[in-house]
């Protein structure tokens, strides 16, 4: 989940700095940009934020449908959903590397819309896993919880380390995502695909191990081998 949080920082930096100030993971920021753009603020986009919002919702809806009935924790549906995210990111990285996405408006729009779709899927997966204090796509509530608890003198919450790591990792992800743009537009998306693949493989292997452990018959009494 923390790796996915880092990847959100990467994707949002690539989308915002590389593609006309569009957030593809943080929909709060995207809605605010859309509102300012609709108000006529100079240079702020409207079409791409609208499409990013629509495709994020679509991705979350598709993933939610696929994860329905899977139960809490990791499942085969979780693996399938993140495999789709990995495949889409890999295909998009190739597309951006081969096509001059800034030459035509439609190419950039395809890129940001696809990124928003995969981030919607990721957000739905994160929600289904229900790891406390880590949503992977936003940290406002995380910062609020951390600050309010310490402000009230109740800083003994067992999730404080998760909160701090989530904040730091989305920040570090944005830093790395911005740095990749000095190389090219597609390297940040490629990094995201690699991160998604790593999480998918690690999560699926752990799921299989846990499942096999549950199905393994208990040892006979007195047998400690």
- Residues 149-180 pLDDT 10s: 765 555 566 677 888 888 899 999 999 999 99
Q: Percent of the chain, pLDDT > 70?
A: 88
Helix (H, G, I), strand (E, B) or coil at 94: helix
Residue 222 lies in a domain: no
**Which residue has better confidence, 213 or 187?**
187
What pLDDT does residue 155 have? 53
What pLDDT does residue 188 have? 96
- The domain tally of the chain equals 1
The structure's pTM equals: 0.86
Q: Is residue 129 very low, low, confident or very high in pLDDT (cuts 50, 70, 90)?
A: confident
Measure Cα distances from 117 to 33, 71, 85, 122, 204 in Å: 18, 23, 9, 9, 22
Residue 212 lies in a domain: no
Average pLDDT over residues 72-86: 90
Residue 214 lies in a domain: no
Q: What share of the chain is helix, strand, coil (3-state, %, to 5)?
A: 70, 0, 30
Cα–Cα distance measured from residue 143 to residue 167, given in angstroms and rounded to the nearest whole number: 7
Residue 217 lies in a domain: no
Residue 125 lies in a domain: yes
Residue 167 lies in a domain: yes
Residue 224 lies in a domain: no
What pLDDT does residue 55 have? 96
Report the CATH number at residue 85: 1.20.1250
Domain hosting residue 135, numbered range: 2-202
Cα–Cα distance measured from residue 29 to residue 203, given in angstroms and rounded to the nearest whole number: 30
Residue 69 lies in a domain: yes
Q: What is the mean pLDDT of the chain?
A: 86
What pLDDT does residue 68 have? 86
What pLDDT does residue 139 have? 81
Cα–Cα distance measured from residue 112 to residue 107, given in angstroms and rounded to the nearest whole number: 9
| Residue pLDDT, tens place only, 82-125 | 999 999 999 999 999 999 998 899 999 999 999 999 999 999 99
């Amino acid at each position: 989940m923390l790796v996915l949080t880092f990847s959100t920082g990467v994707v949002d930096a690539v989308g915002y700095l590389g593609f006309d100030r569009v957030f593809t993971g943080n929909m709060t920021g995207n809605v605010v940009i859309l509102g300012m753009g609709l108000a006529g603020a100079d240079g702020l986009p409207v079409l791409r934020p609208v499409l990013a919002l629509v495709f994020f919702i679509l991705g979350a809806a598709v993933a939610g449908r696929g994860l329905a009935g899977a139960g809490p924790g990791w499942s085969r549906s979780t693996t399938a959903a993140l495999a789709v995210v990995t495949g889409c990111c890999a295909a998009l990285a190739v597309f951006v590397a081969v096509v001059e996405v800034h030459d035509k408006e439609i190419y950039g729009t395809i890129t940001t819309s696809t990124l928003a779709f995969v981030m919607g899927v990721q957000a739905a997966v994160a929600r289904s896993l229900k790891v406390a204090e880590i949503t992977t796509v936003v940290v406002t509530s995380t910062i609020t919880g951390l600050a309010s608890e310490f402000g009230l003198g109740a800083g003994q919450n067992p999730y404080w380390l998760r909160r701090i790591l989530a904040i730091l990792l989305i920040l570090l992800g944005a830093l790395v995502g911005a740095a990749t743009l000095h190389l090219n537009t597609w390297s940040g998306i490629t990094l995201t695909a690699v991160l998604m693949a790593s999480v998918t493989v690690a999560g699926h292997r752990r799921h299989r191990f846990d499942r096999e452990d549950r199905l393994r018959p208990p040892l006979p009494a007195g047998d400690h081998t």
